[in-house]
């Protein structure tokens, strides 16, 4: 099996359609993976923010609605009452949940696009066992010792 190993991926020879070099194909693949990771990171960040909103909402529901509370609005600390702040927090949390759902949909679509790209260009990701096997086949092993940690 002939091919090119570039950037942790393996591209079989003759699979670079459209006149692209193996490096260009894998650069496109890595770009798609990075976009998917960015969506996942943003989703995790928004989930954390929604969880924080939930904690504040849970805390404020048990407090007297006329009690003073402070809210950060555009970098300015504003004094309000629980009665004024609670509905705004609940609305913000709902908007965050909608945004998270949208990001999850985008992430699934990006995953499909990534898989289609992999199939189109016949890209295989090399796991550690395949890398070790290729190194031993090519004789480029460096004679180090391994450590097993359990």
Domain boundaries, the chain: 3-138
Tell me the pLDDT tens digit for each residue of 60-91: 999 999 999 999 989 999 999 999 999 999 99
Tell me the pLDDT tens digit for each residue of 114-126: 999 999 999 888 7
* 98 vs 147: which has the higher pLDDT: 98
State the architecture of 3-138 in CATH terms. Answer: Orthogonal Bundle (1.10)
CA angle 104, 118, 23 (to 5 degrees): 115
Lowest mean pLDDT across 23-32, 46-55, 92-101: 23-32
Q: At what angle do helices 82-121 and 22-61 cross, to 10 degrees?
A: 160
Question: Three-state SS for 41?
Answer: helix
* 42 vs 144: which has the higher pLDDT: 42
The mean pLDDT of 33-52, rounded to a whole number, is 97
Decide if pLDDT at 109 tops 90. Answer: yes
Amino acid 13: pLDDT: 47
The mean pLDDT of 83-108, rounded to a whole number, is 97
Give the global pTM. 0.72
Mean pLDDT estimate for the chain: 85
């Amino acid at each position: 099996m002939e091919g090119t190993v570039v950037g942790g991926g393996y591209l079989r020879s003759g699979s670079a359609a459209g006149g692209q070099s193996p490096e260009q194909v894998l650069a496109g693949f890595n770009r798609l993976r990075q976009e998917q990771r960015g969506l996942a990171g943003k989703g995790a960040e928004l989930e954390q923010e929604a969880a924080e909103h939930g904690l504040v909402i849970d805390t404020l529901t048990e407090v007297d609605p006329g009690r003073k509370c402070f809210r950060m609005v555009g970098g300015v600390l504003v004094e309000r009452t629980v009665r004024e702040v609670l509905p705004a927090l609940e609305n913000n949390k709902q908007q965050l949940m909608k945004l998270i759902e949208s990001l999850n949909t985008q992430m699934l679509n990006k995953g499909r696009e990534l898989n289609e790209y992999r199939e189109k260009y016949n890209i295989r990701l090399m796991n550690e066992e395949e890398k070790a096997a290729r190194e031993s086949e090519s004789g480029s092993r460096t004679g180090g010792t391994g450590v097993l940690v359990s």
